[in-house]
Structure 1
Amino acid sequence: MSRQQPEQQAPPVQRLRIRYAKRGRLRFTSHRDVSRAIERAVVRARIPMAYSSGFHPHPRISYAGASPTGAASEAEYVELGLAEVREPASIAAELDAVLPEGLDVVATVDAAESLAGSLSDLLTASHWLIDLGDTPRADVEAGVAAFLATESIVVERMTKKGMRAFDCRAAVVRLAVTEDGGLDLLLEHTVPAVRPDDVLTGLREAGGLDVPSTVLLTRVAQGVLDRAAGTLGDPLATR
């Protein structure tokens, strides 16, 4: 006897792209837990979600460019596929009202009115601010100068596929010292991905900088990189 075929779901009639922030203690939350919180909020807000086909349908929710655990962010992105057309501002307010404190909706647009391409296509670099605590400014400046003067800096990090070695210098578009002695970092999204902590490792190894074991990472923007200009385009910009 043949197995019954699963019911085929209708495709989304509208896709909304949402920028949200991960603030305060929520920066210590993993991406998996953040995604669960968003999925619960979608249900609580009674947002009319479209669902995937198959024996185990799930809501059409797509994430892109999630920040690492321990990092705060003002620029996280998610896309919702809806079964009904709704006003983006209304969905944003309904979702924000039921998300846990520290996950805050910042902006919402209709994907049909925004830039072409998937969210992943529109997130090619990140702008980070890194608080180095009480590290002397002179030491930070010397470390940054040595880092930037080095053509290639290979670092190692444990990944799901084991220990990986990669050049963290090549992904750095801009690295400067802020007024308060922290770091202003523009980092291109590469494969394998270079993270801010990899750059800190590079600063230790190539720049001799004694980086504190605990630093505060904050992503202030994500978007389409213009490497020549050193700028990021807004992924939620309208066409």
Structure 2
Amino acid sequence: MQRIRLRYTKRGRLRFTSHRDFQRAFERALRRAEVPMAYSAGFTPHPKVSYANAAPTGTGSEAEYLEIALTETRDPATLQALLDESLPDGLDIIDAVEARTSGLADRLTASVWELRLDGVAVEEASMAVAAFLAAETVEVQRRTKNGMRSFDARGAVAELTATYPQADRPGDGPCAILRLVVRHVTPAVRPDDVLSGLRAVADLAPPVPAAVTRLAQGLFDEESGTVTDPLAPDREAVMAAPADRSGVAGHAAAKAPEGAGPA
């Protein structure tokens, strides 16, 4: 059995795709691409697909991850292209590598988010960010299936800055871009929780909903404050090992994600 790890995106209107909707679309893509999937046992076999830490519905992402198990060896680069062609625009497979290590989910310990606040001046956003970072705790509430839950949104935030939009992404009127690095903790702290915290400590309330995009997720390096590529250990293991008898190199070069800088 061969295992392939994939990185995919949710762009444009497809950011409103729920995780269940994506699962259905991806399983259809597997059938269209005639991928030799391994299946679970039992009365209702399912293709062996493992999803890791999906982004909330309504947020865009350049860094979603999953793993599939195959019954036959395939070239990851070819598989990436076939699956990408079989998915709608906006759900794009941008990287594929043969799994040579364990614990992909364990390497997803933090995310880098971009929050676009239209109608908010950078100076106003910067003051709110300073107030948020200066607080020891910022209690927010979120509705769950068990009712309202209160928790601290400050402790999980490793970095929060406010900047101007990129020159190639201007907008009408004031606009601030927040760059957020948040550790994956329990309960999870989401970008909307941080926005609730900014409202609580500085009365920051954007006139329109924020456009939220995950730029990266991976292992958080406490010393450098960076989020590293979770597929890098697999790429390194593939490069260090000889190709198998089928000649499969075992990995594909990543395409640069749209709008994402280095994590």
When normalised by structure 2's length, the TM-score is 0.83
Match of 2:10 in 1: 22
What is the alpha-carbon distance in structure 1 between the residues aligned to residue 98 and residue 230 of structure 2? 12
Amino acid at match of 1:100: P
Quote how far apart the aligned CAs of 1:86 are: 0.7
Match of 1:51 in 2: 39
Residues 204 and 211, structure 1, Cα contact 8 Å, conserved in 2: no
Amino acid at match of 1:48: P
Quote how far apart the aligned CAs of 1:213 are: 4.4
Amino acid at match of 1:54: G
Match of 2:186 in 1: 191
**Aligned 1:18-167 pairs, distance under 5 A:** 18-112=6-100, 116-167=101-152
Return 5+ residue gaps in structure 2 as ranges.
166-175, 237-263
Amino acid at match of 2:19: H
Other structure's SS at 1:142 match: helix
The Cα offsets for residues 109-165 of structure 1, whole Å up to 9 and x where unpaired, read as 0001xxx33221111110001000021222101100100000101111012332211
What is the alpha-carbon distance in structure 2 between the residues aligned to residue 164 and residue 92 of structure 1? 40
- 1:205 counterpart = 2:200: yes
Residues 200 and 211, structure 1, Cα contact 8 Å, conserved in 2: no
Quote how far apart the aligned CAs of 1:46 are: 0.6
- 1:214 counterpart = 2:209: yes
Amino acid at match of 1:85: T
What RMSD in Å do the two structures reach over aligned CA positions? 1.1
What is the alpha-carbon distance in structure 2 between the residues aligned to residue 27 and residue 186 of structure 1? 20
What is the alpha-carbon distance in structure 1 between the residues aligned to residue 47 and residue 163 of structure 2? 42
Say how many residue pairs are matched.
Answer: 224
When normalised by structure 1's length, the TM-score is 0.91
Return 5+ residue gaps in structure 1 as ranges.
1-12
